[in-house]
């Protein structure tokens, strides 16, 4: 009974895992005007970037092969105090003007315009403005790189914006939410997470998994967090894995999703690295479930010696793969999708199996 209660507790609580480092592959260097790329949006096969403080109030479509700027889109009634992120909810594009290294800004805002403007021919678009403030911030004394009120990452989900702070003081991240509607909004803290560094970018795939990009306070050691299977708007409630990146030093600032589970990452120019675009693939790629026409449930999370997958075809073989794709074991799916797992070390794996007659790969987490 105690063991069952423990498994139930683990299944309901956030799980933090460490993984082997990932090696980014260079796609292209970027032209000098893109030396301060701070946010990225991948949509309809296009990669758009925004630049931070001191740069024009424009978004840039860049070529991932040559690095050339293919198109510029001016936000005509906006100003770039410190643009740090760009995201979309599928209807609107949101540009976050909330960089706040000293924690003293009282003019935090997000600009909004229709997604279709990125596919149009016009070089300019008029935007709506969402002004916001942190409900629990009362001290605005400037402290450069000494505040927990900085932010460089956010997502748009349903009718709200979810903002991840860049905590210079404790290297955690606070999750704030506020309505994604023009006007004055109050950002309310909903959760926090031990990021073990400074969060600089965020992206969400169509199946709901989340990636947070960041680097250490010195800007030298980059990493990504994969946040798998979060419970609706409880974004830290799933399986959270930290993946160090092997290219270092790298001031990684922007992240987006490409096809086949790959991420695209942009870095700012430093003495050690030119501004560039990179690609990296987490062990279980974000969006790497193309054959699963609907999200399936796998539980418990984490698993021990047995796991169940709803909809798995009984009597069919399933394989357990390592993060490098190596086959580590084979099992047979039992009734109601139950499988007895081989004895494996605690960690992240890939479960390759048949679900409703279609082949599918799912993340499998084992913890003893």
pLDDT tens digits for 176-189? 999 999 999 999 99
- In CATH, the number for domain 16-280 is 2.115.10
* Beta strands 124-125 and 69-75, pairing class: parallel
Domain spans in the chain, listed from the N-terminal domain onward: 16-280, 290-366
pTM: 0.80
Predicted local confidence at residue 291, as pLDDT: 43
Predicted local confidence at residue 210, as pLDDT: 92
Yes or no: say if 265 and 213 are a contact pair by the CB < 8 Å rule: yes
Confidence of residue 347 (pLDDT cuts 50, 70, 90): confident
Tell me which of 2.60.40.3080, 1.10.357.10, 1.20.200.10, 3.90.1300.10 is the CATH number of domain 290-366. 2.60.40.3080
Predicted local confidence at residue 4, as pLDDT: 36
Check whether 3 has a pLDDT greater than 50.
no
Select the more confidently predicted residue: 14 or 106.
106
Mean pLDDT on 55-78: 97
Check whether 284 has a pLDDT greater than 70.
no
pLDDT tens digits for 236-267? 988 888 999 999 999 999 999 987 678 999 99
Closest CA to 331 of 319, 322, 345, 347: 319
Other Cβ atoms less than 10 A from the Cβ of 118: the count is 19
Closest CA to 264 of 27, 103, 71, 62: 27
Check whether 61 has a pLDDT greater than 50.
yes
Cα four-point dihedral sign 114, 63, 211, 306: positive
Mean pLDDT on 49-76: 97
Confidence of residue 281 (pLDDT cuts 50, 70, 90): confident
């Amino acid at each position: 009974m105690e063991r069952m209660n423990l498994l139930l507790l683990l299944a309901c609580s956030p799980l933090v895992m460490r993984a082997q480092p990932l090696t980014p592959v260079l796609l292209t260097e970027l032209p000098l005007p893109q030396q301060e790329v701070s946010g990225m949006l991948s949509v309809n096969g296009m990669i758009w970037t925004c630049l931070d403080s001191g740069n024009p109030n424009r978004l840039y479509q860049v070529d991932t092969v040559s690095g050339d700027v293919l198109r510029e889109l001016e936000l005509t009634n906006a100003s770039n105090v410190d643009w740090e992120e760009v995201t979309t909810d599928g209807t609107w594009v949101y540009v976050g003007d909330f960089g706040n290294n000293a924690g003293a800004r009282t003019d935090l805002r997000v600009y909004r315009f229709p997604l279709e403007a990125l596919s149009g021919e016009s070089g300019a678009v008029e935007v709506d403005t969402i002004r916001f403030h942190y409900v629990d911030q009362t001290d605005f004394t400037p402290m450069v790189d000494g505040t927990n009120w900085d932010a460089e990452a956010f997502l748009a989900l349903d009718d709200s914006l979810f903002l991840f702070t860049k905590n210079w003081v404790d290297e955690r991240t606070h999750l704030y939410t506020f309505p994604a509607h023009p006007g004055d909004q109050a950002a309310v803290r909903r959760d926090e997470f031990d990021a073990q560094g400074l969060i600089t970018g965020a992206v969400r795939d169509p199946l709901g998994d989340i990636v947070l990009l960041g680097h250490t306070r010195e800007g030298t050691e980059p990493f990504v967090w994969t946040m798998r299977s979060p419970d609706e708007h409880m974004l830290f409630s799933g399986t959270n894995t930290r993946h160090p990146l092997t290219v270092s030093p790298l001031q990684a600032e922007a992240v987006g999703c490409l096809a086949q589970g790959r991420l695209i990452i942009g870095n700012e120019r430093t003495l050690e690295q030119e501004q560039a675009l990179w690609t990296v693939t987490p062990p279980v790629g974000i969006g790497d479930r193309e054959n699963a026409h609907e999200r399936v449930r796998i539980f418990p999370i984490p698993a021990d010696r047995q796991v169940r997958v709803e909809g798995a075809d009984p009597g069919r073989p399933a394989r357990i793969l390592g993060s490098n794709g190596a086959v580590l074991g084979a099992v047979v799916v039992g009734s109601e999708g139950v499988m007895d797992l081989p004895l494996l070390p605690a960690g992240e794996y890939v479960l390759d199996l048949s679900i409703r007659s279609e082949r599918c790969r799912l993340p499998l987490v084992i913890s003893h």
